[in-house]
Amino acid sequence: MYDEHYTRLNQYRSLWILVFFDLPTETRKERKIASNFRKRLLDDGFSMFQFSIYMRFCASRENAEVHSKRIKNSLPEHGKIGVMQITDKQFGMMELFYGKKPVETEKPSQQLELF
């Protein structure tokens, strides 16, 4: 009973951060800036969901805020970038398809938080 209750509450406490971006890539310099932005997301533990959408699981709101601040500190000068936080419960309700075949949503890996 306790484990089920904790898991249910945890689905509302843990978050997913989604980063959506459309960066200019017409010049060599713009491509390098866009590539560096994607690299910083990967270095910070994000994974590619689609080409210009990256996501990261965060065990707590405080942890999500740390990663959101890192994104805001590394924003390129040009382009459009959106950062959205959704609960694990909301993420789990997403329907994913490859063509017409349904696909399971990604389960968060076990992460160790050190304070």
Nearest to 91 by CA among 40, 32, 16, 41: 16
Given the candidates 3.30.70.420, 3.40.50.11540, 3.30.70.240, 3.50.50.60, the CATH classification of the domain at 6-91 is: 3.30.70.240
Query: By three-state DSSP, how is residue 5 classified?
Result: helix
Alpha helix ranges (H) inside the chain: 2-13, 28-43, 61-73, 88-92
pTM value surpassing 0.85: no
Place 108 in a pLDDT band, splitting at 50, 70 and 90: low
Distance between CA atoms of residues 35 and 111, nearest Å: 27
List, for residues 6-38, the tens digit of each pLDDT value: 554 576 789 999 999 999 999 999 999 999 999
pLDDT of residue 45 exceeding 50, the answer is: yes
The Cα–Cα gap between 99 and 29 comes to 35
Domain ranges of the chain: 6-91
Assigned token pair, 65: 């805020």
Is position 43 annotated in a ligand binding site? no
